[in-house]
Structure 1
Amino acid sequence: DLNRASPPSEPPSTPECTIEMSEEQGLERVAAEFWKAQLARNQSIVVDLFQGQMRSVFMCTSCGHSRVVFEAFNSLILPVESATGKPLSNIYDCLKEFARPTDLSGDNGWYCAKCNTLSESTCDTRLWKLPSVLMIQLRRFKQLSPTRWSKSSHHVHYPTEAELDLSEFVAESHQRDAPRYRLLGVVRHRGVMTGG
C-alpha cells in the first residue's frame, strides 16, 4: 500500500466539496480545505505526481442561485467529439469542448436549493490545481443503447514539438506553476469497450 496517510481516514459520503457562492469564505480557502481533507485520507507518490483539482460552478437559470464544487482527478478525460457529434482534430479543440459550459435540464437538471427543485441550469468546469504529471484520456467510446457502444478512431493532434499550454482552461486560482506540459508517452487502446 502506497498510502502515507496515517491512519487513512474514512472516505467522505461524496468525493467532492460543495459550497454556496454567497458564503464569505474565499474559493482559495475552500479549495485548500478540500485538498487538505483529500490528503488526510489519500497521500501517496501517485497523488503527489498525478492528482489535480477541478472547480465546477452550477448556476440555476431561473433564479441565478449558484454552487461551487471542487473535485480531485487523476486523469483529465476529454471528449473527442463536439456536442453536435463533429470529430475534434486537435487536443486544444478537445480541451475547449471540455471547458464549454454545459446546459443541464429535465432529468439531467441540477437541484437548486433556492427553487427546491430540479431546474434548468448551467455547469462551468475549469481546472483549479494541476498535477506535476498530467494524464489525458480521450473519451473515444459513446453509448448508443444500453448494450451497444461506438468507438471513435479519428486522430487527435497533440503538439509534440511544443508545450501544451493550459492557461485558458485554468480557473481564477493562484496556480503556482505554469500550466504547461510536454508529451512523455502515449498508450493506444486497440479493440472494443469490453476488451482489447
Structure 2
Amino acid sequence: MNRFLADVVPMLVAGPIALLVGLISLFALNQSFMISVVFSLVGGGLTYWLGSLYFTSRFLKKHQLTRKEYQYIKKNIDEAKPKIWRVQKALISVRHLSSFKQRKDMIKMIRKIYSLTKKEPKRFYKAESFYYSHLDSATELAEKYVFLAQQPRKNKELELSLTETRKTLKDLTKTIEKDLYKVLSDDIDTLNFELDVAKQAIKTRKESQIEESRRLK
C-alpha cells in the first residue's frame, strides 16, 4: 500500500458518500436542506476517518512499523524536505565548472535517499546519520560557499576558504554516497544472493549438459 494512495483513496470515497447521504436525507427522509448538509458532512467525515484508519493500518503493517515509529520517521523526513531544497538551490547556483559533476551527483544522491525513505519508511533507520548529521552539514557548507562566492572582491584568504569548502563538499559527497549504499544494502545483498543462485544454476546446467554429452559418446 502506497502512502499516497492511503491518503487519497479515503478522500475519493468520502466525496460520493457525503453526496449520497445528503441526497438520501433531503429527498428520501424529507429533511431540510441545512440538516441534509450536516448529515452529508458527518457521513463524508466519518467515511474519510474510517478509510484513513484502514489504509494507514495496511500501510504500517506492510512496512512493519508501529504508528508511533511512523510518526517519528515522518517528522524527520518532513523536516528534511526544506533542507534538501536549500542544498539543491545553493549547489545549482555555484559557478564553478570543474565541480559541476560532483555537485550534480550530491543532489541526485540526496534526492534518492529522501525518495527511498519516503516511499519505504523503514529504510530511515539505515539513513539516520544522513538525516541527523550529513544533510545539515551539506546545507551549511553549500550555503556558506554561495555566500563566499558572491562577495564582490576576493582576496587570497577568501579564495583559500572557497577552495577548502569545495574540498569539504567533495568529501561530504563521498560520505553521502556511503549513506545511499547503506540505505540500499538490503537490496544489494538480495541481488548478490540471486546472482549467486543464478550462477550456480547455470553452472549445474552446463555440468549436466557436459555429462549428458559424454554419455551419448
TM-score range, shorter chain: under 0.3
Write 1 or 2 for the structure with the bigger share of helix: 2
Q: TM-score, normalised by structure 2?
A: 0.19
Q: TM-score, normalised by structure 1?
A: 0.21
**Structure of greater Rg:** 2
